[in-house]
Amino acid sequence: MKRKAERKDFSGEAKICLLGEDIEFSATIQDISLSGIRIIVTGRIVKANTLIEIKMCVDGRPIQCNGRVAWTLPLRPGFGDIILFDAGIELINVIPEDSEFLKKFCGS
């Protein structure tokens, strides 16, 4: 499947909350584009098609939006058998100003 937008390597932290839940957990951003991010989730199982809220800071700019888990891939157990997942997140409900910022940041 062809990606909607070019990905840019990016390392950063994101706070993720499953819609309808109050529990926030951390994820590490691996790359970013105008349409999505790839994250590593530690100690939490996240399934495809799950809707989430995302809080992240990109190049000093706080961005908050929703997302949909497009795919997940279990990784090898982490330290002390902690579960690690690689996940692709489609960004949705991004405000126009943040979308324009991501477009410039990613060079799209």
Q: Identify the residue with better confidence: 15 or 6.
A: 15
Size of the chain, expressed as the number of residues it contains: 108
Euclidean distance between CA atoms 99 and 33, whole angstroms? 10
- Is the model more confident about 97 or about 43? 97
Which neighbouring-strand residues pair with 88? 38, 71
pLDDT confidence of residue 80: 66
Burial class (CB in 10 A: 0-12, 13-18, 19+), 23: exposed
In the chain, alpha helices (H): 96-106
Give the lowest-confidence range in 23-32, 40-49, 54-63, 67-76. 40-49
CA angle in degrees (0–180, nearest 5) for 76-55-73 = 20
Task: For 15-38, write each residue's pLDDT tens digit.
Answer: 999 988 888 889 999 999 999 999
In the chain, domain spans? 8-106
CATH of 8-106, one of 3.40.50.970, 2.40.10.220, 3.60.110.10, 3.30.830.10: 2.40.10.220
Helix (H) or strand (E) holding 99: helix 96-106
Check residues 84 and 100 and name the one with the higher pLDDT: 100
Note whether 87 and 72 are within 8 A (CB): yes
* Nearest alpha-carbon partner for 30 in 95, 85, 77, 93: 85
Spatial distance between the Cα atoms of 80 and 45, rounded to a whole number of angstroms: 16
